[in-house]
Amino acid sequence: MKPVWLGPKRAARLAERFGTPTYAYSAKILRGRCRAMTRAFPATQIRYAMKANANPTLLRRIRAEGIGVDTVSRYEVRLAKELGFARKDILYSGNNPDNEELDAVHRAGVMLNLDALSSLRRYGARFPNSPVSLRMNLEIGAGHHPHVVTAGPDSKFGLSVDDLPEAEAIARRFGMRIVGLHQHIGSGVFELDLFLRAMEPLIQLLPRFPALEFVDVGGGFGVPYRDDEADIDLEHWGQQIRARIGRAVADLGRPLRLAIEPGRYLVCEAGVLVTRVTTVKRTQDRTFVGVDSGMHHLIRPALYQSYHPLTAWPRREGTPERCFVVGPICESGDVLAEERTLVAPEEGDLVVIANAGAYGYAMASHYNLRARPAEVLVDGDAMKRIRGRERYRDLVRAGDLRPRG
């Protein structure tokens, strides 16, 4: 296992200063991942899929590395613009947008990447003569869990090749220029061959669209969570993907920009969730390590049976036990780590859950009326709160319920 970047001393200092549970992000790892991406994909429009983690401070840092954003809702677009992302560096790829959302994104001056004939028709009718991008579903999907496979026959995403004549007719009717072709096959992909194979049918479509300015092959770059998973060779991925698109552009005989939209790869390993053990309970055959965070803060283990590496501080001596790290939520699925053989931590110890920077805070909820944690940026020796811990009033603000106190 890669050592957790937040060691015992700094973890204790962080917990002391900001309390627990807290999401902590390493500025150094974030920067490293962004630079690895920009190095592997020169002359490419890189747009970070901000659904993975939309903390404004992290977004600013990502922008400073010359990376744009892939957005999926009008509020993601709004936040991106408020943080200074240029319109040309924002793409909207929302799924099943209503008309209000089409209006809001169009008003924001951002390019829409649409994936249903209905959305295209409604967008064209409302805003004739707009440029537009098409999201395709070309049969090959992939991902670490069925829930995150976003192409293939069972997927709700994308237009099929059979939809294209109608899509082109709609575009003609409303004077829309099809300037982008896009696909995203899924999340957590480790096989370069599969990724390249999935690009082929997209590449076959390029000559069909004379006004095309970019081809976007999506995100999904895998990050290892388990000991038996290895880092992908990003340089090699970059070379191969760029080479294939380079050949396609040469055949095409007109310029075309490559675009990608990694989410997890940039933020996953930068983030840890620092929790404190509240309760240790031993039953006949297992040890429950109850911590002050759970599925409401990190739903990935409950939702996808995802494995997250973890470390407990301080190191304890003793006999390893069959530990289950669980939270305070009233569901038996409220598990952060299933069956780990380790020396059980004691009440008051810290459990640091790694690889929590992507789809961690972003998917947190208020289930059981529990508050979301604080977020802290660790930059060398400096630690800075970049989002406050929620309080009662943050949870009941909705609707006409006026909290008192």
Q: Give the residue numbers marked as catalytic.
A: 330
- Asked whether the bond before 21 is cis by omega within 30 degrees of 0, the reply is yes
SS (H, E, C) 18-61: HCCCEEEEEHHHHHHHHHHHHHHCCCEEEEEEHHHCCCHHHHHH
Among the listed residues 24, 148, 295, 302, the single contact to ligand LLP using CB under 6 A = 148
261 binds ligand LLP (CB under 6 A): yes
| 3-class SS of residue 403 | coil
263 binds ligand LLP (CB under 6 A): yes
Options 182-190, 251-259, 311-319, 365-373: segment touching ligand LLP (CB under 6 A): 182-190
Residues near ligand LLP (CB under 6 A), total: 20
Among the listed residues 219, 238, 301, 345, the single contact to ligand LLP using CB under 6 A = 219
Structure-block tokens of residue 145: 């869990």
How far apart CA 175 and CA 193 sit, in angstroms, is 38
115 binds ligand LLP (CB under 6 A): no
User: By the 8 A CB rule, do 220 and 195 touch?
Assistant: yes
Shortest Å, Cβ 151 to ligand LLP: 10
218 binds ligand LLP (CB under 6 A): yes
Residues 6+ apart with CB under 8 A from 315: 8, 343
Among the listed residues 264, 276, 297, 387, the single contact to ligand LLP using CB under 6 A = 264
Among the listed residues 220, 238, 309, 327, the single contact to ligand LLP using CB under 6 A = 220
Structure-block tokens of residue 403: 């909290």
41 binds ligand LLP (CB under 6 A): no
Nearer to ligand LLP, 273 or 323 (CB): 273
378 binds ligand LLP (CB under 6 A): no
Nearer to ligand LLP, 70 or 349 (CB): 70
DSSP string, 124-161: HHHSTT-EEEEEB--S----SSGGGB-SSTT-S-SB-G
Options 37-45, 197-205, 258-266, 272-280: segment touching ligand LLP (CB under 6 A): 258-266
Shortest Å, Cβ 216 to ligand LLP: 8
How far apart CA 283 and CA 44 sit, in angstroms, is 55
Residues 6+ apart with CB under 8 A from 118: none
Residue numbers of the site for ligand LLP (CB under 6 A)? 49, 52, 70, 93, 148, 150, 184, 187-188, 218-221, 261-265, 300, 359
